Structure 1
Amino acid sequence: MKLKIFLSLIMIAFSTSFAFASFPVQRTVPASENTQLSAPAKKQDQKEVYAPVVATEKSQGIALVLALLLGIVAAHRWYLGTPWPINVIFILTLGGLGIWWLIDIIRICTGDLGPVNGRYKDSFF
């Protein structure tokens, strides 16, 4: 019993220490005539650079293989980028007792079930 409590406390300690991520964020405030910025104003030659949103290409063949081999644990849905709550429901219901899983296989074959933020590659694999 003491071992279980000790291991639980260690797991909680490690899970909370890695829960926060930080990265540098550069914030810009639009300057109006009536407000003064505390930081120095941006120079004219500096430009804001935004990362382009790139549509990812996923393989329809890999999605089909994942659905056939690991479909009961929603591997194909994780690969295609389906939101995690739907994937968890898929896993808890065992793929809708196999019916939802079978429908997903048919939808992948026809190309109806595609990647969320992208499209399928031109080749099957």
Structure 2
Amino acid sequence: MFIFNLSFASFPVKRAEIVDTTVKKENVISKKSELAPSPILSSEKSQGIALILALTLGLLAAHRWYVGTPWPVNVLFIFSLGGVGVWLLIDIIRICVGTFNPQGRFKKSFF
């Protein structure tokens, strides 16, 4: 039923040589300004905007969408109504203190 066929190249094939892949110290970029920043880490969010979103649209997880929390956590937040308000209250406190920053960091100024 099944025919197994072994095929070979009809032309001569040379094996590839193993190339040395070690990086020399001369090739390493030493200045941070020459490196392209990651878009996730370079986007600083406003702490004030996150606080306003938490106070106004907090039960819809608007502040969490704004700072870049993963969507499954946001959906869980919405279905539990912000952990019946407790999770939302903790988020508001963490935004005021400045520790609520899952993706990146807040700007130095509040707004």
Cα RMSD, aligned residues only:
2.1
What is the CA deviation profile of residues 85-106 of structure 1, one whole-angstrom value per residue up to 9, with x for unaligned ones? 0000000000000010011000
Gaps of 5+ in 2: 1-13, 18-34
Structure number with greater Rg is 2
Match of 1:121 in 2: 107
1:63 touches 1:108 (CA, 8 Å); kept in 2?
yes
Gaps of 5+ in 1: 1-32, 37-49
Partners of 1:113 and 1:61 in 2: CA distance: 12
Match of 1:92 in 2: 79
Greater relative contact order, per chain length (Cα 8 Å cut-off, separation 6+): 2
Q: Does 1:68 align with 2:55?
A: yes
* TM-score (norm. length: structure 2): 0.65
Deviating above 3 A after TM superposition, structure 1's stretches of 4 or more consecutive aligned residues are none
Match of 2:15 in 1: 34
Q: Percent identity?
A: 65
Match of 1:107 in 2: 94
Matched length: 79
Match of 2:65 in 1: 78
**Cα offset, 1:122, TM superposition:** 1.1
Match of 1:8 in 2: none
**Cα offset, 1:35, TM superposition:** 3.2
Counterpart AA for 1:53 = S
* TM-score (norm. length: structure 1): 0.58
1:58 touches 1:115 (CA, 8 Å); kept in 2?
no
Partners of 2:45 and 2:98 in 1: CA distance: 12
